Amino acid sequence: MAIQDLFSLQGEVAIITGAGRGIGRAIAIAFAQAGASVVCAARTQADIDDTAAQCRQSGSQALAVSCDVSNEDDLAKLVHTSLEQFGKISILVNNAGGAYPNDPLKTDAKAFNRDFNFNVTSAFTLTQLCQPSLLASKGNVINITSAVARYCQAGFSSYGTAKAALTQMTKLLAADFAPDIRVNAVAPGTILTEALGQFLNTEIQEKMTALTPLKSLGQPQDIAAAALFLASPAARWVSGKIIEVDGGAESTTWPF
Q: 140-144 and 13-17 as β-strands: parallel, antiparallel, unpaired?
A: unpaired
**Segment (H or E) for 49:** helix 45-56
Distance CA 2, CA 80 (A): 35
Find the catalytic residue in 118, 151, 156, 159: 159
The region that residue 205 occupies, defined by phi over 0 for left and psi between -120 and 50 for alpha, beta otherwise, is alpha
151 is catalytic: no
Which amino acid, 89? I
**Segment (H or E) for 124:** helix 122-137
C-beta of residue 180 within 8 angstroms of C-beta of residue 139: no
Backbone angles phi, psi at 13, to 5 degrees: -125, 125
Residue 128: HSE in the Cβ half-sphere, 13 Å Cα cutoff: 10
Q: Which residues are catalytic?
A: 159
